[in-house]
Structure 1
């Protein structure tokens, strides 16, 4: 069971996701500052940099957006030229084109944009010109994967691309078709606005933070949405009812005197989980350091002495740490290169088990990630896609 807890303050909205009562995601969105990832713009090319195979494009934000050659070529790898052409052959200063933001502006860097357009719906991701069908890797049964792939091939036109999402497992063909029709209509509206607008111009903004989460994870059979703002709760109910095609969503308005995040223990948990030093349930602890280039997590036994011998103590601490690291990288939305310094283990079987535990614990993470394995120095390497600034707990807003 999942609980989506939403607190609406005067200047921001904060969201926490609980799975079986455990905090796994947190996000905050300022009322006057909405994220750009997923949004479409008509941009004007300002500079083409042949040496970088990239261009800087004005999309109407404070910093020019960055467009790399790979994001300009055909989205289907098989239809790209074997040798990349010079970007100066494809773009000229002053040229206007429709772009989608795939990565927020972070620090001194502007947003990263692409022409590999994608529009996420409830059951699928629609790519107007990708030319292929894919099925979420998290759908394990080959028979169901084949069924969804056949549905996708039957519904799409030759130039279109579709990705059937994890939640599409066992979805009816009619529901997928209706989702596709809505996304095609949305894309048509973006193209029409693009024809009429002068660059730079915003063409389409993605859903709000709360709506994205409802679209991506909410299941009416098991999940509950709890909000302390009646007006937004009404909007959320209408959004879910439309998305779920008549199924009654479970939305509850919280009215108690105790602040919502305090009642569910979220504030206290956030205070602990965003510290540099995070204690593990068994007495060990993690030390979490983030630099511009990467995140380093150090695992320590601390007060944990529960094993029968040193190797057993180390192994049990590392397994507990792997589960907690998986939860925390998702909660903190940690992206980029992540290095974990687990406590040294002499058993190869234990090393494999710790890596497998981390992989299994990351199954619920919707953000793309990849565990690369152990280095020669005994460190575990992984990457996780970074699209936004890491969240900052706003406290009582």
Structure 2
């Protein structure tokens, strides 16, 4: 089945959204118990971490940790925003560089100026979008980024989105309260689907959409670790407490090119495998045997695959043992902890 579908449903009591591309589950968002990324707190500095330049904060949802802090003392109040999900037993990761993000606009209070996505290349369209922004913003002091989804979008919808984000930013940034408090909630799966899955798609909102569109069948597969790569090859995605281990096997293929074929298939499918499982942190690839001369080809394929993935991933490189390492932002909670 060709085309794109967005299915809004629930997994048990959890709100969830699925993106299906050409009949295959491409992305999945599931409500977690932890604070949502994007949540903004008025937090109180608690304990500095000597030698790391970080600070623990008190928030309504527990302890939070901010890296690279300068000039803060315990007891000071700071606006911080949740950036991802914490490992079990660790503090909520936050930043003091707040962003207010919607479908068309991103407001950047600490970075003034008006910018457009580089993906919008048509000069006439760029001029149109800047005119819309100018009409809404006038003398607003905050910065603005217009996202690629603005291209050819309705002017009134863009203007309404900009105004809503500016109002939210102003409300938060001018807060004069005291003590730990939640000032803005992050977006849930259904709003995130509207915000980030902007390409044309059929939207399914009827209850039972996950079952009728085969999402539940794919979830059963995701409970396991095996990902089939074709030609008998496979990779096993196995999270541990310390890291995520990826083991690539050629299966029954005994040809000279079996290793590079399996590894190239791994490079193509790895972003989706990690995205659907909600996995991040340190990732180690134990690849199928291949000549060292093929490493550059593999790296190029891996880099191209992650370039299309929205979750920040750093390709670290090769270890002395011949493994390949990545560092991926924990932007989502692990799916294994969310399934009913």
Instruction: Give the TM interval when normalised to the shorter protein.
Output: 0.7 to 0.9
Residues 15-49 of structure 1: CA deviation (Å, up to 9, x unaligned): 2221111112223225xx46331011112222234
Q: Aligned residue for 2:96?
A: 115
Structure 1 residues 271 and 207 mapped into 2: Cα distance closer, same or farther (>3 Å)?
Answer: same
Q: Aligned residue for 1:267?
A: 216
Aligned residue among 12, 15, 20 for 1:13: 15
Structure 1 residues 60 and 380 mapped into 2: Cα distance closer, same or farther (>3 Å)?
Answer: same
Residues 61-105 of structure 1: CA deviation (Å, up to 9, x unaligned): 2x31112235xxxxxxxxxxxxxxxx3xx2222222222122333
Query: 1:43·1:200 contact (CA, 8 Å) conserved in 2?
Result: yes
For 1:144 and 1:299, the matched residues in 2 are separated by 46
Q: Aligned residue for 1:285?
A: 234
Gaps of 5+ in 2: none
Structure 1 residue 151: Cα displacement: 3.1
For 1:148 and 1:304, the matched residues in 2 are separated by 55
3-state SS of 2:267 partner: helix
Q: Aligned residue for 2:300?
A: 356
1:185 aligns with 2:167: yes
Runs of 4+ in 1 over 6 A off after TM superposition: none
Residues 335-388 of structure 1: CA deviation (Å, up to 9, x unaligned): 12222222222273x433333333333344221223344445433333321134
Matches within 5 A, 1:193-204: 194-195=175-176, 197-204=177-184
For 1:265 and 1:69, the matched residues in 2 are separated by 45
3-state SS of 2:106 partner: strand
For 1:19 and 1:99, the matched residues in 2 are separated by 35
For 1:111 and 1:275, the matched residues in 2 are separated by 28
1:212 aligns with 2:192: yes
1:42 aligns with 2:23: no
Q: Aligned residue for 1:160?
A: 142
Q: Aligned residue for 2:246?
A: 297
Matches within 5 A, 1:286-365: 286-304=235-253, 309-311=255-257, 313-346=258-291, 348=293, 350-365=294-309
TM-score (norm 2): 0.84
Aligned residue among 210, 223, 246 for 2:201: 223
Q: Aligned residue for 2:85?
A: 104
Gaps of 5+ in 1: 71-86, 230-258
For 1:108 and 1:200, the matched residues in 2 are separated by 20
3-state SS of 1:275 partner: coil
For 1:295 and 1:107, the matched residues in 2 are separated by 15
3-state SS of 2:272 partner: helix
Query: 1:57·1:66 contact (CA, 8 Å) conserved in 2?
Result: yes
For 1:145 and 1:366, the matched residues in 2 are separated by 27
TM-score (norm 1): 0.73
Query: 1:104·1:110 contact (CA, 8 Å) conserved in 2?
Result: no
3-state SS of 1:125 partner: strand
Aligned residue among 151, 158, 176 for 2:130: 151
**Structure in which a larger fraction of residues adopt strand:** 2
3-state SS of 1:278 partner: strand
